[in-house]
Amino acid sequence: MDFSFTRIKGGIGAARGFLSSAVSCGIKNPDSDRLDLALIYSESPCVSAGTFTTNKVKAAPVRVSQNHLRKGAIRAIVANSGNANACTGLQGINDANEMCLSVAKGLGLKKTEVGVCSTGVIGLPMPMMRLAPKMPELIEGLAAKRGNDVARAIITSDTHEKEIAISFDMGDHRVRLGGCVKGAGMICPSMATMLCFITTDANISSDNLRKAVQEAVEESFNRITIDGDMSTNDTVLVLANGASGMPRMRRNGSDCNKFRKALSWLMLELAKAIVRDGERVTKFVTVNVKGAKTHLDAKKVAEAVCKSALVKSSWNGGDPNWGRIIHAVGYSRARIREELIDISIGGKAACLGGLQADTPMDQLRAAVAEPEFEIEINLNQGEAEYRMYSSDLSPEYVDFNRSEYAYWKQARKDGLV
Amino acid sequence: MDFSFTRIKGGIGAARGFLSSAVSCGIKNPDSDRLDLALIYSESPCVSAGTFTTNKVKAAPVRVSQNHLRKGAIRAIVANSGNANACTGLQGINDANEMCLSVAKGLGLKKTEVGVCSTGVIGLPMPMMRLAPKMPELIEGLAAKRGNDVARAIITSDTHEKEIAISFDMGDHRVRLGGCVKGAGMICPSMATMLCFITTDANISSDNLRKAVQEAVEESFNRITIDGDMSTNDTVLVLANGASGMPRMRRNGSDCNKFRKALSWLMLELAKAIVRDGERVTKFVTVNVKGAKTHLDAKKVAEAVCKSALVKSSWNGGDPNWGRIIHAVGYSRARIREELIDISIGGKAACLGGLQADTPMDQLRAAVAEPEFEIEINLNQGEAEYRMYSSDLSPEYVDFNRSEYAYWKQARKDGLV
């Protein structure tokens, strides 16, 4: 970034005027005491913007939150892990509405001022009998320094919570921007692909915030993949309450540009954190496509490479296998000429003009042995570029995802199915 | 099929007037004595047709065979396993031409009457110093009953050879049709995705054969996937020499229709055999999409489900996870309405109208425990259908594909890189 900012502690709790809370309901497992229901609340009115999955099968909370966002600003977000409330029909919509309503009542808000998000298993009803009784405790627990509890409550197969916050100056005022995110599985580019909550005390109009969010999502969450599976629940929600005391930013003014850059940087860091903490991931790989005729060609190449099971398996094995990379470039449907393609791995040439380069194999293997490395694919046909962030595919990923039967067994015990 | 035919022994050796041979060159590993170079030859002139990968990165033998097929009929096919001769530049084209030329010389054919196919690792030069000296032995070995040797010589990570042959009557003449196939990895729908050779002693024009082959490939090899990775070397070649003695079929006559049906049946059986013998595959799954608005919508749904890493992992785990199936339907970009979708597994309703059906879970788990089962997805929006054949994804698949470093080490030992 070409302006300076400071990393500060925390995530969504860092911005002024936001309170957070989280409780344990045992949504997935009644015997567990891990946090699984979270609440974010802006003490003062705020503006909000969001993006949602483009999967046509949308979870109930996605439908409800989209509807509320359309009607005006969202001032509170209630989110649970352990059940996606997806493919749950009218009952699911009722449950999502019920979650909003009970938060709205407790906080003196309109129901449409509350956003709702869920993540977990698809197709099983929400265990509302365990969730509803915890609502009063959730609301009473709201406090300024509990952002980390929210970050922990929304994760599922993630190994740790993921949050970042920064601060920067806008005129005479210090502005804070922070967020948290959950990812791990069902991660695929093309629209926000997880849950992400961001708060800021910047003073920005609803229109400007919406534009900034769309731009930042396009360059962050839409650029990552772990397993190529787009979720039914992906949601990014950003709240801005102006509590920093700064005057409202002018559209396209320097402050607004600065804010957009800060938001883009933050989202990209959160998106990368999702890939690094992907299910059973051992490698974080940046795929940088250059020299394409068009942006779309570059994107097709990046997506084909980042999603190839064989390419991702070879990364897991520490094999600098450029043959598999170029084979994925070939079926990407982008306009390419095999004899022009250069591929480098960790800055070392692996393929030049479609043929094996003469870099010693030891150097290429050393590059792929790193936990994070970059693949550059130069099509040498134009000026367009596209960058994506991917992971390896491990035997442990498949093993981890073999069965969700335990969810069903609990739902049966709960009398929900 | 609505006409009767008889399964007979063998594969490409079953049709009259075709000779086969195979030798061991140690292409992948000089210390191994497995067969890895094969030859098929029609004693009399024949017609031929073929389809090739649509990957834009095409292996040298694909380019050479396409060129030869364009110039007229192919009468002999030379094929090797252990090296794909892909991404090998001018040297690769020279090597593929050299393979054709030495077969042509030995058999008194024009070079353009010889087709060439390779399968194996991408990006390493062919070890011609081990292959070329074996050409005389390969040609001398031609015999009527060696079709099985060819089927064995072309496999790589396949666990066994795959060949089928049938015979049926056309007028007063008995006609034979047989083929062999190799698959295992890099298997993805959209164009022939492997090596497949088919011979017949039917008497058919080149035009009619081409049409029959295109139709049969569309309904067989284009309907399968193991890992979603389209290979650079996929080739189907069909030779018909008329040695049965039957008169030339009339275009669109009843004989021609009968032949088309027989060819389609044979190719579908070979395609299914590829899926069943996919790398570390434990389940063969037929995905049958019904009630789509258009053929393309049905196809998009089938492909999304058949390629989803999460769906395939759940099949491996014996989990009748309809939630993951409907989530893939949702991101398929087909026109769907969640609340209309029915999904059955092994004939048992798993999801009705987008919601969990009340079939006992034990019955669904029993269905997925079978080594072969069918998933039916009814979109209930129209009349269009599409059927695909897929496999599970196993931890062992990923483990098996972690590294091809051994290939490189041999190539280095050979002085090729």
Q: According to the annotation, is B299 in a ligand binding site?
A: no
At the top level of CATH, the class of A284-393 is alpha beta
Q: Rounded to an integer, what distance in angstroms lies between the CA atom of residue B38 and that of residue B165?
A: 19
CA-based nearest residue in chain A for residue B393: A398
What is the model's pLDDT at position A45?
Answer: 92
pLDDT band for position B190 (cuts 50, 70, 90) = very low
pLDDT at B42 over 70: yes
CA-based nearest residue in chain B for residue A357: B417
Q: Which residues of A308-323 are buried (b: 16+ CB within 10 A; e: fewer)?
A: bbbbbbbbbbbbbbbb
User: Nearest 5°: phi and psi at B249?
Assistant: -65, 145
Q: Rounded to an integer, what distance in angstroms lies between the CA atom of residue B318 and that of residue B313?
A: 9
Average pLDDT over residues A9-21: 92
pLDDT at A230 over 70: no
Estimate the crossing angle of helix A89-107 against helix A60-71, to 10 degrees: 50
B349-354 contacts: CB < 8 A, separation 24 or more? Answer: B350/B320, B350/B322, B351/A87, B351/A123, B351/B322, B351/B325, B351/B326, B353/A89, B354/A57, B354/A87, B354/A89, B354/B326
Question: Which of A95, A193, A321, A332 to mutate: most B Cβ within 10 Å?
Answer: A321
User: Nearest 5°: phi and psi at A222?
Assistant: -80, 0
What is the model's pLDDT at position B227?
Answer: 65
- Three-class SS of chain A: CCCCCEEECCCCCCCCCEEEEEECCCCCCCCCCCCCEEEEEECCCCEEEEEECCCCCCCHHHHHHHHHHHHCCCCEEEEEECECCCCCHHHHHHHHHHHHHHHHHHHCCCHHHEEEEEECCCCCCCCHHHHHHHHHHHHHCCECCCHHHHHHHCCCCCCCCEEEEEEEEECCEEEEEEEEEECCCCCCCCCCCCEEEEEECCCCCHHHHHHHHHHHHHCCHHHEECCCCCCCCCEEEEEECCCCCCCCCCCCCHHHHHHHHHHHHHHHHHHHHHHHCCCCCCCEEEEEEEEECCHHHHHHHHHHHHHCHHHHHHHHCCCCCHHHHHHHHHCCCCCCCHHHCEEEECCEEEEECCEECCCCHHHHHHHHHCCEEEEEEECCCCCEEEEEEEECCCHHHHHHCCCCHHHHHHHHHCCCC
Could you tell me what percent of chain B has a pLDDT over 70?
Answer: 94
CA-based nearest residue in chain A for residue B309: A227
Q: Which has the minimum average pLDDT: A135-144, B107-116, B205-214?
A: B205-214
CA-based nearest residue in chain A for residue B353: A89
The string of pLDDT tens digits covering residues B12-26 is 999 999 999 999 999
Residues 6+ apart with CB under 8 A from B385: B288, B289, B290, B291, B292, B295, B298
Q: Which has the minimum average pLDDT: A327-331, B20-24, B217-221?
A: B217-221
Q: Which residue has the tokens 């015997």?
A: A31
Structure tokens at B76: 């002999």
Q: Which residues of B touch A351 (CB under 8 A)?
A: 87, 123
Nearest to A401 among B228, B313, B338 (CB): B313
- CB pair distance less than 8 Å for A87 and B351: yes
In DSSP terms, A374 is beta-bridged to A286
- CB pair distance less than 8 Å for B417 and A356: yes
Q: Rounded to an integer, what distance in angstroms lies between the CA atom of residue A340 and that of residue A380?
A: 6
Q: Which residue, among B348, B350, B353, B328, has the nearest Cα to B338 in the 3D structure?
A: B353
Going from the C-alpha of A242 to that of each of A43, A247, A258, the distances in angstroms are 11, 8, 15
Q: Would you say A313 and B393 are in contact if contact means Cβ atoms under 8 Å apart?
A: no
Q: Catalytic residue numbers of A? A: 193
Question: Which of A52, A53, A54, A57 to mutate: most B Cβ within 10 Å?
Answer: A57
Average pLDDT over residues A4-19: 90
The string of pLDDT tens digits covering residues B374-414 is 999 999 999 999 998 888 988 888 888 777 777 777 878 88
Average pLDDT over residues A297-319: 90
Q: Would you say B382 and B291 are in contact if contact means Cβ atoms under 8 Å apart?
A: yes
- Three-class SS of chain B: CCCCCEEECCCCCCCCCEEEEEECCCCCCCCCCCCCEEEEEECCCCEEEEEECCCCCCCHHHHHHHHHHHHCCCCEEEEEEEECCCCCHHHHHHHHHHHHHHHHHHHCCCHHHEEEEEEEECCCCCCHHHHHHHHHHHHHCCECCCHHHHHHHCCCCCCCCEEEEEEEEECCEEEEEEEEEECCCCCCCCCCCCEEEEEECCCCCHHHHHHHHHHHHHCCHHHEECCCCCCCCCEEEEEECCCCCCCCCCCCCHHHHHHHHHHHHHHHHHHHHHHHCCCCCCCEEEEEEEEECCHHHHHHHHHHHHHCHHHHHHHHCCCCCHHHHHHHHHCCCCCCCHHHCEEEECCEEEEECCEECCCCHHHHHHHHHCCEEEEEEECCCCCEEEEEEEECCCHHHHHHCCCCHHHHHHHHHCCCC
Going from the C-alpha of A341 to that of each of A390, B185, B234, the distances in angstroms are 21, 24, 21
User: Nearest 5°: phi and psi at B22?
Assistant: -155, 145
- CB pair distance less than 8 Å for B336 and A57: yes
CB atoms near residue A6 (< 10 Å): 11
- Shortest distance between the Cα of A281 and any Cα of chain B, in A, equals 13
Nearest to B56 among A56, A330, A396 (CB): A330
CA-based nearest residue in chain B for residue A60: B338
pLDDT at B367 over 90: yes
Q: Which residues of A touch B192 (CB under 8 A)?
A: none
Q: Which residue, among B65, B368, B56, B108, has the nearest Cα to A297 in the 3D structure?
A: B56
Nearest to B87 among A314, A354, A405 (CB): A354
Nearest to B327 among A55, A316, A399 (CB): A55
The string of pLDDT tens digits covering residues B284-315 is 999 999 999 999 999 999 988 998 888 999 99
Average pLDDT over residues A384-397: 89
Q: Catalytic residue numbers of B? A: 193
pLDDT at B138 over 50: yes
The string of pLDDT tens digits covering residues B83-129 is 889 888 899 999 999 999 999 999 999 999 999 999 888 888 899 99
> Computed over its alpha carbons, how large is the radius of gyration of chain B?
22
Q: Would you say B354 and B326 are in contact if contact means Cβ atoms under 8 Å apart?
A: yes
Question: Which of B402, B412, B416 to mutate: most A Cβ within 10 Å?
Answer: B402
Going from the C-alpha of A151 to that of each of A40, A163, A277, A414, the distances in angstroms are 11, 7, 14, 27
Q: Please name the amino acid found at residue B337.
A: R
Q: Which residues of B touch A416 (CB under 8 A)?
A: none
Burial class of residue A207 in the structure, from the number of CB atoms within 10 Å of its CB (0-12 exposed, 13-18 middle, 19+ buried): exposed
> Computed over its alpha carbons, how large is the radius of gyration of chain A?
22
Q: According to the annotation, is A374 in a ligand binding site?
A: no
- CB pair distance less than 8 Å for A124 and B356: yes
Q: Rounded to an integer, what distance in angstroms lies between the CA atom of residue A140 and that of residue A121?
A: 28
Question: Which of A53, A87, A231, A333 to mutate: most B Cβ within 10 Å?
Answer: A87
Q: Would you say A19 and A176 are in contact if contact means Cβ atoms under 8 Å apart?
A: no
- Shortest distance between the Cα of A210 and any Cα of chain B, in A, equals 24
- CB pair distance less than 8 Å for A326 and B351: no
pLDDT, chain B, mean: 87
pLDDT band for position A52 (cuts 50, 70, 90) = confident
- Shortest distance between the Cα of B386 and any Cα of chain A, in A, equals 20
Domain boundary assignment for chain B: 6-276, 284-393
Residues 6+ apart with CB under 8 A from A319: A365, A368, B402, B403, B404, B405
Average pLDDT over residues B32-39: 94
Average pLDDT over residues A77-94: 91
- Shortest distance between the Cα of A382 and any Cα of chain B, in A, equals 18
Q: Would you say A53 and A62 are in contact if contact means Cβ atoms under 8 Å apart?
A: yes
Structure tokens at B200: 């017949």
Q: According to the annotation, is A56 in a ligand binding site?
A: no
Q: Rounded to an integer, what distance in angstroms lies between the CA atom of residue B110 and that of residue B67?
A: 13
Q: Which residues of A touch B326 (CB under 8 A)?
A: 57, 87, 122-123
Q: Which has the minimum average pLDDT: A80-89, A112-121, A251-260, B280-289?
A: A251-260
Residues 6+ apart with CB under 8 A from B308: A228, A229, B324, B325, B327, B328
What is the model's pLDDT at position A187?
Answer: 56
Q: According to the annotation, is B303 in a ligand binding site?
A: no
Question: B195-200 and A372-378: which strand pairing?
Answer: unpaired
pLDDT at A250 over 60: yes
- CB pair distance less than 8 Å for B88 and A314: no
Q: Which residue has the tokens 């110093």?
A: B129
What's the complex ipTM?
0.72
- CB pair distance less than 8 Å for B87 and A122: no
Q: According to the annotation, is B316 in a ligand binding site?
A: no
Residues 6+ apart with CB under 8 A from A130: A25, A26, A27, A30
CATH topology of domain A6-276: L-amino peptidase D-ALA esterase/amidase (3.60.70)
Q: Which residues of A touch B184 (CB under 8 A)?
A: none
Q: Which residues of A touch B186 (CB under 8 A)?
A: 310, 327
